[in-house]
Structure 1
Amino acid sequence: MPSEIQPPSHGDHLTLSYPADHVLLLTMNRPKQLNAMTPSLSKDIGRVLSWFDDEPTLWCAIINGAGRAFCAGADLKAQVWKADQEGGQKDESEQIATSPHGFASVSRRSISSKPIIAAVHGMAFGGGLEMVVNCDIVIAGASCKLGFPEVKRGVTIAQGAIPRVAFISGFQFASELMFTGRTISSQEAQDRFRFVNKVVPDNEVLPTAIAWAKEITQNSPDSVASVKKAIILAKQAAGIEQSTLNHAYSVENKRLFNGENIQEGLKAFSERRPPAWKNPAKL
């Protein structure tokens, strides 16, 4: 771990590493349970991602899973145990409304201005796939299986994936995938449903994700943050003009134009040399 940064405390079900300069790797570490999500793991991921958002030396994050799967969805046993401990399950609508970042603190996360890459292998089902489709870039293994089986279980897809997949894939493709509960391949996810950026051999998933993170961190972190903010606003706003105006007045855009990296990028271009980016100022 770089000596200058100190991540928040977290359980053994989540491991952190730094595979390249400015890159944080979060690995869900419940391999025997196929990284099924528990309330405590979700809280730890959320705590680490909030720290990542504020840590100026980290510019890009990768999320993956240990063992044979990315994430098989929610750990239903852990949810039942939690309900027993708390004297009953909360109303589902209340749970969704009071969980602003969604499944695993990822599936509805829209506050981060830093890129998050999903490195997906094995399988991602239910909430696990809701995490994947909300990441900025998705690298998937060739044998990976993906799906939203909620309708087969009598439950629903509630943590942000429905509007996200409809936005990416189109309403008819989203309906096909979610009405049927069908399992699809990573190649289908790339070619038809368009929420996978690249399919690679299974043993190349993480190296490819790290290579893409390195490529991203060769660019100005201020510029990348500004662009990500614009993409988020495009999903939220009613039209092109309003999202453009919201982006213009965003704190990420103001930091870009008032920061040192914009001057460094232009100067490096004129001097025909690689730019030397600085850590962005805290927002």
Structure 2
Amino acid sequence: MGKTDRNTQELHPPAHSNEVKISFPREHVMLLTFNRPKALNAMTSTMVSDIKNILDWFEQEPYLWVVILTGEGRVFCAGADLINWKQREQSGETKDDQADVAGNPNGFASISRRSSSAKPIIAAVNGGAYGGGTEIVLNCDLVIASEDATFALPEVKVGVVAIQGGIPRLARIAGHQLASEMLLTGRNISAKDAATRFGFVNKVVPKSQVLSTALAWAAEINANSPDAVQSTKRALLLSNQHGSVEDTVLTHVWSKESTRAFKSSNIKEGLSAFSERRKPHWLNPAKL
């Protein structure tokens, strides 16, 4: 696709445990898999540390343009490891939980509030997404779900709160009443309802097609200028942070991603390819 494509063997991701897996199934695409299938991919502190390090590296690697998140086994992510949480509660380790949430800009699993990256994140939801798992999904840019997938924010059922970004994000997407339906009852909703009623799933497909569909969408994104895509995502993120169109426009136009898009060789390549009626050959974006 690009003149600077290279063998993925030249990529050097950070060391990580076997609780996550990473691979590079297509040019410019990283697949990050939660890998605790027997525990329904419930998050541990080790997983969170691994995911943070991997995504921080992904954000700085020019060759990688899109990341797909999925879960090994029958569940995407069952949220927090509640057994471990109970043990921490009994030992007194949770006394600073509020400060931990406030001081963690990346949120649950280092994903649910992550806004530092302008690279697209696709969720390939192969089964249930519960609690923090749904909070992860709500912070993804695109969501492909299997027909049998279910989603829930059941925190109130066990005396805790979906405090890692799920509440305001769902309210923005679905509106107050529908968000209340999920959050105050804790009930499960189907993939179909998540797509048609609540509006946070883009496409529902047979389970066998979840990953292939996510990869196809990633390829469609990567057929476009990576500079333009990343600048566009930055504008989308800013839209959630600012109260007015004008504030968003002015903040975006002077952002690092916007400046790079205006000055990059890819804008020249895109305009030349259009006028010459050929496919563009995109270059990896410059590091910000």
Counterpart amino acid of 1:16? I
Rounded to whole Å, the distance in 2 between the matches of 1:63 and 1:18 is: 12
Distance (Å, rounded) in 1 between the aligned partners of 2:131 and 2:68: 20
Deviation readout 1:150-208 (Å, 9 max, x if unpaired): 11111111000111111111111111111111100000000000000000011111110
Check conservation: 1:73, 1:124, Cα contact below 8 A: yes
Tell me the residue number matched to 1:244. 249
Q: Who is 2:207 aligned against?
A: 202
Counterpart code for 1:114 = K
C-alpha separation between the residues in 1 aligned to 2:84 and 2:11? 32
Instruction: Report the equivalent of 2:30.
Output: 24
Equivalent residue number for residue 263 of structure 1: 268
Give the Cα separation in 2 of the matches to 1:32 and 1:125: 15
- 2:183 aligned partner: 178
- Compute the displacement of 1:232 (Å): 0.3
Aligned to 2:53: 47
SS in 1 for 2:93: coil
TM-score by length of 2: 0.95
Partner Cα separation in structure 2 for residue 70 and residue 97 of structure 1: 26
8 A contact 1:59–1:114 mirrored in 2: yes
Normalising by structure 1, we get a TM-score of 0.97
CA drift of 1:68 comes to 0.8
The percentage of aligned residue pairs carrying the same residue is: 54
What's the offset of the Cα at 1:99? 1.5
Measure how far apart 1:90 and its partner are. 3.3
In the alignment, which residue of structure 2 is the partner of 1:63?
69
8 Å contact kept, 1:190–1:199: yes
1:117-163 deviation digits (Å, cap 9, x = unpaired): 00002100000000001000000000111111111111111000111
Rounded Cα–Cα distance in structure 1 between residues aligned with 2:72 and 2:208: 13
- Paired residues for 1:121-132 under 5 Å: 121-132=126-137
Instruction: Give the match for residue 10 of structure 2.
Output: 4
Out of 115, 120, 131, the position equivalent to 2:120 is 115
Alignment of 1:27-38 (within 5 A): 27-38=33-44
Q: Which of these residues, 153, 157, 165, is aligned with residue 160 of structure 1?
A: 165
Distance 2:274 2:252 in 1: 25
For structure 2, the residue ranges without an aligned partner over 5 or more in a row are: 1-6
Q: CA RMSD in A?
A: 1.3
Match in the other structure for 1:77: 83
Shift of 1:43: 1.1
Quick one: which amino acid aligns to residue 49 of structure 1? L
Q: Helix, strand or coil for the counterpart of 2:10?
A: coil
SS of corresponding position for 1:27: strand
The aligned counterpart of 2:4 is none
Is 1:278 matched up with 2:283? yes
1:254 to 233, 239, 259: 259
Deviation at 1:10, TM superposition (A): 0.5
Q: Distance in 2 between matches of 1:41 and 1:79?
A: 15
What's the CA shift for 1:97? Answer: 1.0
- Count how many residue pairs are aligned between Structure 1 and Structure 2: 282
CA distance in 1, matches of 2:152, 2:89: 26
The equivalences for 1:140-159 within 5 A come to 140-159=145-164
For residue 15 of structure 1, what is the aligned residue in structure 2? 21
Please give the alpha-carbon distance, in whole angstroms, between the structure 2 residues aligned to 1:26 and 1:84.
Answer: 33
Q: 1:9 to 1:83 in 2, by over 3 A?
A: farther
For residues 23 and 84 of structure 1, what CA distance do their matches in structure 2 show?
Answer: 42
1:54 Cα offset (Å): 0.2
Aligned partner letter, 2:121: I
1:219 pairs with 221, 224, 230, which one? 224
TM superposition shift of 1:89: 2.0
Gaps of 5+ in 1: none
